[in-house]
Structure 1
C-alpha cells in the first residue's frame, strides 16, 4: 500500500476517527524520534584547510596599501 492510498483512506474517516488515528500514531513517531541517532556534523574548524596557507598580516597590509594607494583623496 502506498502513502497516497493511506492518505485517501484516512480522508474517508470521520473527524473523530481521524483524531483517534492521530492519537495512536503520535506515540510511535515520538519513540522513533527519540531513538533516532543524530548524524555527526562536520566541524567548521579547518573548513578552509584545503585552500592552503593563509596570508600573513604583513602580506595583508601590503595588499591593502597597494589598493588604497591610487584612491583619490581630497582634504576637506
Structure 2
C-alpha cells in the first residue's frame, strides 16, 4: 500500500511534519519541490462574476427520475 507523508529535508535529515510511519524499513520515493514553489490556493470564480450567477437546480439530486430505476429492481 502506498501512503504519502510530508517531511522537510534539512542538512541531511528528515523532519516529519505530520505522523511518522511505524515501520522498520521501507522503499521510498522522494519528490523535491523547488524552494519558493507556491502551493496552489483555493480556487475562486473571477470577481467580475459576483452576483451574476444563478443556481438552476440541486447539483446533488439525481439526473433521472426514480421511476426510471424501478425497472432495475
Same fold (TM over 0.5): no
Larger Rg: 1
The structure that is strand-richer by fraction is 2
**Whose helix proportion is higher, 1 or 2?**
1
Normalised-by-shorter TM-score class: under 0.3
Q: Compute the TM-score of the two structures, normalised by the length of structure 1.
A: 0.22
TM-score of the aligned structures, taking structure 2 as reference length: 0.23
